[in-house]
Structure 1
Amino acid sequence: MPHHRGLIPDGFSPLPHRPAAASPPARPCGPEELAALINAARSVKPAPVSAVVGTASDAVSRANGELLATAWADGGGTVLTTVHWPETAASWLRPSRRFAAPEPDVWLVAATVPGWAAMGRRLVTSTGWSPARTFVTSPLADPELIALGGIGTFDGLRGAYPDGRLWTVQGLVSVHDG
């Protein structure tokens, strides 16, 4: 099935090939991280108006998702929907379709590695989602995301650290912008 980077290799499963190793837990998104994420998302060309917010199902990720949605709306943007997903699931097909179907200008994500890695794998196999138009919170700045998601799954994904520095996934690494 084709997706934004060409053809999915034979044998590629949307399910991660192994359980997640220890990765950072969700943590509250502070003002510097929040501002950096929203500013980075607003820098997309053409200028974005609509966003879909996605979160893991834990309380901290959901609260961070509310912060992202409020900040986006306060800046004049429209939040089309908010989608939550579990850390473990049989396929992630339903939440991935709800996440991608509105076809927003950008996606804003507050999550942790296990669930987002699985969502990303499902998104690239089943939707028109673009990691290059997706902006995520700091717990996803972890090599385990690429290890679980697969090389290329998250190319172009951008995020912010708690201090507001930005990073971008390129192949096997997260490139730090500052």
Structure 2
Amino acid sequence: MTSLELEALLGLLGHARHIVIGTDSSSRPDAARIAEAWGGPVLATVTWPETAASWLRQARRFATPEPEAWVVSATPAGWAGMARRLVLSTAWSPHRTFATAALAGYPLPGLRGAHADGTTWETR
């Protein structure tokens, strides 16, 4: 994650008072950078594997605190199963979710994020 990407991601979070961070195993360092830079309350940090039987346990932990915003730092492969489970089994909303550059263009309407160059993106 670049400094510009991190700055843009924090800007997208706007005036959110608290967040939940989600990450796959390979993106943990970026998730830690986000938490440190955020400086506000992180209600939970949830890590999931790229492959799992269902991701239900992780999805419930990610969605349950009902934060003002969710932040995702994951690879497309690591996010695919988790996103599917969130849509099917929780009240999670992609419209309140912000992601790192790795998920730019991920086919989930409402998901927003930051590119490495500091510009932002939104899936429609």
Pick the TM interval, shorter chain. over 0.9
2:11 matches 1:30:
no
> What TM-score does the superposition give when structure 2 sets the normalisation length?
0.96
1:54 is matched with which residue? 22
Match of 2:78, SS? helix
2:36 matches 1:70:
yes
User: Structure 2 regions of 5+ residues with no counterpart?
Assistant: none
User: Structure 1 regions of 5+ residues with no counterpart?
Assistant: 1-28, 147-153, 171-178
> What TM-score does the superposition give when structure 1 sets the normalisation length?
0.67
* Within-5 A mapping of 1:87-166: 87-142=50-105, 145-146=106-107, 154-166=108-120
AA aligned to 1:39 is G
Aligned residue pairs total: 124
Q: Report the CA distance between 1:35 and its aligned residue.
A: 0.4
Runs of 4+ in 1 over 3 A off after TM superposition: none
In structure 2, how many angstroms separate the alpha carbons of the residues matched to 1:110 and 1:124?
Answer: 18
Of Structure 1 and Structure 2, which has the larger fraction of its residues in helix? 2
AA aligned to 1:32 is L
Higher alpha-carbon Rg: 1
Alignment root-mean-square deviation, CA: 1.0
